[in-house]
């Protein structure tokens, strides 16, 4: 599902707070926890201030545009001004010793620290745009949850509940995608607590295996129930996945 909203505001600092309130109304029900919501607000505040102060120079003749969209489980907010633009690569690092005591220059650093994606680009008609992206947290369906831990450089993900269509399958996808995006490349999926699974759940396991392999990683399965083993045998996927009953042996197999 795709959701969008857009705003045009004047280049005045008193426009920041009401704009933040309107944007919070757009993303407030998407499932972000309090910390993530505060991080989004801080990044938006910095981007709006940059557009007003540094982009448009508070010019009454210039506007700031905001476009927000939810697509593929990412909140993306684009803020653009009508100024001269700048080269982000030339912005001094505020963490450098010579810049630590400067009173300004930390906005872009904070945006990059608190958002999953920050992209700058020039606009054809003049002006600068910044896109701030934040991934939605994995869907937490009723009766479905997961836990994670690391052992020997392997990320072990344990799923509990039904891995079935419209619920657990999507939760599985989101959780594994997040693990990949965080850099995990050795993944062991513990299904000892998966109460049931259907073709959609199996499909997500296959999709996860493909995504991990395409990024140079390995995905293996641990503690399958007899029913799940039967399903993988029927579908011939038993020949695709490496399956283990002993965690220590599974960890050692990653090398």
State whether 131 and 169 are in the same domain: no
State whether 131 and 155 are in the same domain: no
State whether 28 and 126 are in the same domain: yes
User: What average pLDDT does this structure show over 184-212?
Assistant: 91
Confidence of residue 157 (pLDDT cuts 50, 70, 90): very high
Residue 140 placed within a domain = no
Q: Using the predicted structure, report yes or no on whether residue 139 has a pLDDT greater than 70.
A: no
Q: What is the pLDDT of residues 15-35, one digit of tens each?
A: 999 999 999 999 998 889 899
Q: What is the pLDDT of residues 70-85, one digit of tens each?
A: 988 899 999 999 999 8
Confidence of residue 169 (pLDDT cuts 50, 70, 90): confident
| More reliable by pLDDT, 251 or 200 | 251
pLDDT score recorded for residue 66: 98
pLDDT score recorded for residue 72: 80
State whether 117 and 193 are in the same domain: no
CATH number assigned to the domain comprising residue 238: 3.30.750.24
Residues whose CB falls within 8 Å of the CB of residue 209, separated by 6 or more in sequence, listed in order: 219, 240, 241
State whether 37 and 120 are in the same domain: yes
State whether 116 and 169 are in the same domain: no
Residue range(s) defining the domain that contains residue 56? 3-135
Residues whose CB falls within 8 Å of the CB of residue 37, separated by 6 or more in sequence, listed in order: 24, 27, 28
Q: Using the predicted structure, report yes or no on whether residue 2 has a pLDDT greater than 80.
A: no
Which of 135, 163, 190 is a domain's end point? 135
Q: How many domains are there within the chain? A: 2
CATH number assigned to the domain comprising residue 27: 3.30.565.10
Which of 110, 135, 160 is a domain's end point? 135
Token pair for residue 137?
């947290």
State whether 87 and 128 are in the same domain: yes
Which of 135, 166, 199 is a domain's end point? 135
State whether 117 and 178 are in the same domain: no
Q: Using the predicted structure, report yes or no on whether residue 186 has a pLDDT greater than 80.
A: yes
Give the lowest-confidence range in 53-57, 195-199, 223-227: 195-199
State whether 158 and 129 are in the same domain: no
| More reliable by pLDDT, 182 or 2 | 182
State whether 29 and 99 are in the same domain: yes
């Amino acid at each position: 599902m795709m959701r969008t909203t857009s705003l045009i505001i004047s280049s005045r600092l008193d426009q920041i707070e009401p704009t933040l309130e309107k944007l919070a109304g757009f993303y407030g029900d998407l499932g972000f926890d309090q910390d993530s919501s505060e991080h989004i607000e801080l990044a938006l505040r910095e981007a709006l201030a940059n557009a007003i102060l540094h982009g448009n120079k508070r010019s009454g003749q210039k506007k700031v545009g905001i476009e927000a969209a939810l697509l593929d489980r990412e909140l993306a907010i684009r803020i653009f001004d009508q100024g001269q633009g700048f080269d982000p690569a030339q912005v001094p690092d505020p963490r450098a010793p010579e810049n630590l005591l400067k009173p300004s220059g930390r906005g872009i650093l904070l945006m990059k620290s608190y958002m999953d994606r920050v992209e700058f680009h020039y606009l054809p008609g003049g002006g600068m745009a910044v896109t701030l992206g934040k991934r939605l947290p994995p869907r937490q369906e009723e009766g479905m949850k997961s836990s994670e831990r690391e052992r020997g450089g392997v990320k072990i993900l344990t799923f509990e509940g039904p891995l079935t269509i419209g619920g657990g399958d999507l939760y599985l996808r989101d959780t594994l995608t997040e693990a990949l995006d965080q850099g995990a490349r050795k993944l062991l999926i513990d299904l000892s607590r998966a109460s049931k699974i259907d073709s959609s759940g199996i499909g997500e396991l296959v999709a996860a295996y493909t995504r991990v392999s395409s990024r140079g990683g390995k995905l293996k399965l641990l503690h399958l129930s007899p029913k799940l083993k039967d399903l993988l045998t029927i579908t011939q996927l038993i020949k695709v996945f490496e399956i283990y009953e002993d965690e220590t042996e599974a960890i050692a197999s990653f090398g």
